[in-house]
């Protein structure tokens, strides 16, 4: 049962919530670090679990939080449980903590489960968790490591608006968040989940081009990466349509328009669209084997 203080926190600030991260691997570790760094949760509010004792010890030392291999004990202490195990382990792990999970009711919101495993549907987690348990699914991406990720959230059947807002605050510690319907989670996986890999290839290719036209490699890489970053920031901060921003760089009979002609002839636009479509399709296949 949540304390009165913790109940209030689900609706306001999360100062006395107890948080468990089950499966504190790469992504779980990024979140732990961000919680502590942002001050959203303090060390004493957090417990985490991993599979191996030696990893638990190392992680405990690294973050100064309690890390064990006992999921049920960690879940029993928690108001909010982040699930970071591999997709194929998810239903077993949730089934094993089900006795510790509380459904929401008119008087208290119950345990909030937030899974960030790719391709695992809220309905599968709800089924393993038991009747009435609130489940949110999150899809973060790797730039979360530097606090510039983007996470899509979708709600399961029993989630309150306050719980969704809390999940948003949790993932805001590693970048931006968007809320989507669950039917769009495969598309999110194909665009922002896989997207960093597509953009690294573009940056690598631009740097290679710089070398090709005579620039030293480190200078070319810096120019390519900072230009990509700057263009993204322009889109995000001006709110202008990317086509309009592109037009601003493209003077009549200038250099850029010649380059754009090459891009169109090489099919960059259609290739990127096909890459996102293909990654989305693969995510759908993995979710429905």
- Which residues form the interface with ligand NAP (CB under 6 A)? 22-28, 49-52, 55, 71, 84-87, 89, 93, 116-118, 140, 142
Distance of closest approach, residue 268 Cβ to ligand NAP, in angstroms: 25
What tokens does 186 get? 């495969």
User: Whose Cβ is closer to ligand NAP: residue 142's or residue 228's?
Assistant: 142
Report whether 247 contacts 236 (CB < 8 A). Answer: no
Report whether 208 contacts 180 (CB < 8 A). Answer: no
User: Whose Cβ is closer to ligand NAP: residue 46's or residue 207's?
Assistant: 46
Distance of closest approach, residue 91 Cβ to ligand NAP, in angstroms: 12
Q: Where are the alpha helices (DSSP H) in the chain?
A: 4-11, 26-38, 53-63, 71-76, 90-97, 122-129, 161-172, 185-188, 195-212, 217-238, 242-249, 255-266, 268-287
User: Whose Cβ is closer to ligand NAP: residue 14's or residue 23's?
Assistant: 23
Distance of closest approach, residue 189 Cβ to ligand NAP, in angstroms: 8
Count other C-beta atoms under 10 Å from residue 154's C-beta. 23
* Nearest in space to 20 (alpha carbons), one of 64, 70, 95, 86: 70
User: Whose Cβ is closer to ligand NAP: residue 40's or residue 118's?
Assistant: 118
> Which residue's Cβ has the minimum distance to ligand NAP?
25
Tell me how far apart the alpha carbons of residues 189 and 169 are, in angstroms, rounded to a whole number: 21
User: Whose Cβ is closer to ligand NAP: residue 142's or residue 250's?
Assistant: 142
Distance of closest approach, residue 227 Cβ to ligand NAP, in angstroms: 25
Distance of closest approach, residue 263 Cβ to ligand NAP, in angstroms: 29
What tokens does 108 get? 């208290």
User: Whose Cβ is closer to ligand NAP: residue 55's or residue 282's?
Assistant: 55
Distance of closest approach, residue 285 Cβ to ligand NAP, in angstroms: 15
What tokens does 117 get? 């495993």
């Amino acid at each position: 049962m949540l304390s009165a203080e913790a109940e209030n926190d689900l609706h306001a600030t999360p100062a006395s919530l107890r948080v468990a991260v089950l499966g504190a691997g790469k992504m779980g570790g990024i979140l732990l670090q961000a919680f502590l760094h942002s001050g959203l949760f303090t060390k004493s509010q957090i417990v985490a679990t991993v599979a191996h004792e030696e990893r638990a010890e190392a992680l405990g030392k690294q973050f100064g939080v309690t890390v064990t291999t006992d999921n049920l004990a960690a879940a029993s202490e928690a108001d909010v449980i982040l699930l970071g195990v591999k997709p194929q382990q998810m239903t077993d792990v949730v089934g094993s903590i089900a006795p510790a999970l509380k459904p929401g009711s008119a008087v208290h919101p119950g345990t909030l489960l937030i899974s960030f495993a790719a391709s695992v549907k809220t309905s599968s987690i709800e089924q393993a968790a038991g009747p009435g348990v609130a489940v949110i699914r999150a899809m973060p991406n790797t730039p979360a490591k530097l606090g510039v990720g983007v996470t899509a959230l979708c709600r399961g059947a029993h989630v309150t608006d306050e719980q969704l807002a809390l999940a948003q605050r949790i993932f805001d510690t590693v970048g931006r968040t968007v809320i989507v319907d669950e039917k769009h989670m495969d598309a999110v996986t194909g665009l922002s989940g896989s997207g960093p890999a597509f953009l690294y290839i573009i940056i690598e290719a631009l740097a290679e081009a710089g070398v090709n036209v005579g620039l030293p490699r480190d200078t070319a890489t810096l120019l390519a990466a900072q230009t990509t970053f700057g263009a993204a920031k322009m889109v995000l901060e001006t709110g202008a349509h990317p086509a309009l921003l592109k037009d601003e760089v493209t003077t009549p009979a200038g250099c850029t328009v010649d380059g754009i002609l090459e891009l169109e002839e090489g099919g960059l636009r259609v290739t990127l669209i096909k890459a996102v479509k293909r990654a989305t399709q693969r995510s759908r296949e993995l979710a429905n084997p």
